[in-house]
């Protein structure tokens, strides 16, 4: 008899879960300067959208405020808890139908989500629609917060961060985890 799980698991999600479950056992084999989180991201990313490191993005936002269009591709609940300053919300659940006609195609765009998987899908869509300079925030908002970078909500600066789920919250090392 074949058992079915209540969730339809995609190939990459299965690989990520396998990587997550086997990471503690493979610490001895880890390449120099590669964290468990980096290894997880390597299993998740398709490398179809170039990444930007959080430090690079932070420098760009400081040197030329408003020069980069930030798109938060998480759920509305995640966005309400916190987001990068100035980020626009793009609902991941409906991005495939979105034409993004209201956004300039020639402006640099950085997409992000919790870890970078969902945002990479949105980045692929933007590139297919003709956006010229699309980047995915490496490690997502988790990496941003883990590097002690600021996040905001409607009240201003906050330490709150939505960890997406209990499973994914393992990768969030800083901030106050808030499920709303």
* HEC per residue, the chain: CCCCCCCCCCHHHHHHHHHHHHHHHHHHHCCCCCCHHHHHHHHHCCCCCCEECHHHHHHHHHHCCCCCEEEECCCHHHHHHCECCCCEECCHHHHHHCCCCCCCCCCCEEEECCCCHHHHHHHHHHHHCCCCCEEEECCHHHHHHHCCCCEEECCEEECEECCCCCCHHHHCCCCEECCC
pLDDT at 139: 97
pLDDT at 97: 83
Is-contact 15 43, C-beta < 8 A? yes
Of 14, 97, 95, 102, the C-alpha closest to 111 is 95
pTM confidence score: 0.82
Of 21, 33, 13, 41, the C-alpha closest to 140 is 41
pLDDT at 34: 62
pLDDT tens, position by position, for the chain (180 residues)? 343 333 444 555 544 544 444 344 333 333 345 689 999 999 999 999 999 999 999 999 999 988 899 999 999 999 999 999 999 999 988 888 888 888 988 899 999 999 999 999 999 999 999 999 999 999 999 999 999 999 999 999 999 999 999 999 999 999 999 998
pLDDT at 12: 52
Distance CA 111, CA 97 (A): 17
pLDDT at 10: 55
């Amino acid at each position: 008899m074949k058992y079915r799980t209540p969730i339809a698991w995609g190939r990459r999600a299965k690989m990520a879960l396998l990587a997550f479950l086997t990471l503690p056992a493979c610490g001895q084999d880890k390449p120099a300067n590669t964290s468990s989180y980096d290894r997880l991201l390597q299993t998740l990313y398709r490398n179809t959208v170039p990444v930007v490191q959080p430090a690079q993005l932070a420098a760009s936002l400081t040197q030329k405020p408003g020069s980069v269009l930030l798109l938060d591709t998480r759920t509305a609940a995640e966005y309400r808890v916190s987001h990068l300053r100035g980020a626009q919300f793009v609902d991941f659940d409906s991005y495939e139908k979105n034409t993004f006609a209201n956004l300039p195609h020639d402006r640099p765009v950085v997409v992000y989500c919790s870890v970078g998987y969902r945002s990479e899908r949105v980045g692929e869509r933007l590139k297919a629609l003709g956006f010229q300079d699309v980047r995915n925030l490496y490690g997502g908002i988790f990496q941003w917060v883990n590097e002690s970078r600021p996040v905001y909500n409607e009240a201003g600066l906050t330490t709150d961060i939505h960890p997406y789920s209990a499973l994914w919250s393992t990768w969030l090392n800083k901030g106050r985890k808030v499920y709303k």
